[in-house]
Structure 1
Amino acid sequence: MNKPFRQTTVADNIIGELDRALNNIFCKQTSLRPFPADNTTGDAAPLSSDQKRQAASLMRVNHAGEMAAQALYQGQSLTARDPSLADKLKNASMEEADHLNWCRNRLEELDERPSLFDPIWYAGSFAIGMAAGIAGDRWNLGFLAETEKQVVRHLDSHLERLPENDERSRAIVEQMKVDEQGHADLAEDLGAAELPQAVNKVMKLTSKVMTSVAEKI
Structure 2
Amino acid sequence: MTVDQTIIEIDRALRTILAPARSVRAVPGSNQPDVELDVAQKRHVVGLMRINHCGEICAQALYQGQALTSRDVAVKEALRGAADEETEHLAWTEQRIAELGGHKSLLNPLWYAGSLTMGLVAGALGDKWNLGFLAETERQVEAHLDGHLLDLPEEDVRSRAIVEQMRLDEIRHAETAICYGAAELPQPIKAAMKMVAKVMTLTAYHL
Q: Shorter chain as normaliser: what TM range?
A: over 0.9
The aligned counterpart of 2:33 is 42
Residues 110-121 of structure 1 correspond to what in structure 2 (within 5 A)? 110-121=100-111
Structure 2 residue 167 is matched with structure 1 residue 177 = yes
Structure 2 residue 5 is matched with structure 1 residue 13 = yes
Partner secondary structure for residue 111 of structure 1 = coil
The aligned counterpart of 1:93 is 83
Shift in Å, 1:84: 1.0
Normalised by the length of structure 2, the TM-score is 0.97
Cα deviation, 1:176-211, whole Å, max 9, x if unaligned, reads 000000001111111110101110010000000000
Structure 2 residue 141 is matched with structure 1 residue 138 = no
Instruction: Could you tell me which runs of 5 or more consecutive residues in structure 2 were left unpaired when the two chains were aligned.
Output: none
Provide the rounded CA distance (Å) in 2 between the counterparts of 1:14 and 1:127: 15
Shift in Å, 1:117: 0.4
Provide the rounded CA distance (Å) in 1 between the counterparts of 2:184 and 2:168: 22
Provide the rounded CA distance (Å) in 1 between the counterparts of 2:138 and 2:47: 21
The aligned counterpart of 2:205 is 215
Partner secondary structure for residue 137 of structure 2 = helix
Structure 2 residue 155 is matched with structure 1 residue 165 = yes
Larger Rg: 1
Provide the rounded CA distance (Å) in 1 between the counterparts of 2:57 and 2:29: 20
How many residues are aligned here?
A: 207
Shift in Å, 1:13: 2.1
Shift in Å, 1:122: 0.6
Provide the rounded CA distance (Å) in 1 between the counterparts of 2:192 and 2:22: 34
Structure 2 residue 129 is matched with structure 1 residue 129 = no
Partner secondary structure for residue 30 of structure 2 = helix
Partner secondary structure for residue 38 of structure 1 = coil
Partner secondary structure for residue 116 of structure 1 = coil
Q: Which of 16, 25, 37 does residue 33 from structure 1 map onto?
A: 25
Question: Would you identify which runs of 4 or more consecutive aligned residues in structure 1 move more than 4 Å?
Answer: none
Provide the rounded CA distance (Å) in 2 between the counterparts of 1:54 and 1:187: 33
Cα deviation, 1:136-162, whole Å, max 9, x if unaligned, reads 000001000000000000000011111
Provide the rounded CA distance (Å) in 2 between the counterparts of 1:93 and 1:103: 15
Shift in Å, 1:11: 2.3
The aligned counterpart of 1:51 is 41
Whichever residue aligns with residue 178 of structure 2, its letter is: E
Shift in Å, 1:14: 2.1
Provide the rounded CA distance (Å) in 1 between the counterparts of 2:49 and 2:21: 17
Instruction: Could you tell me which runs of 5 or more consecutive residues in structure 1 were left unpaired when the two chains were aligned.
Output: 1-8
Whichever residue aligns with residue 46 of structure 1, its letter is: E
Q: Which of 176, 186, 198 does residue 196 from structure 1 map onto?
A: 186
Whichever residue aligns with residue 130 of structure 1, its letter is: L
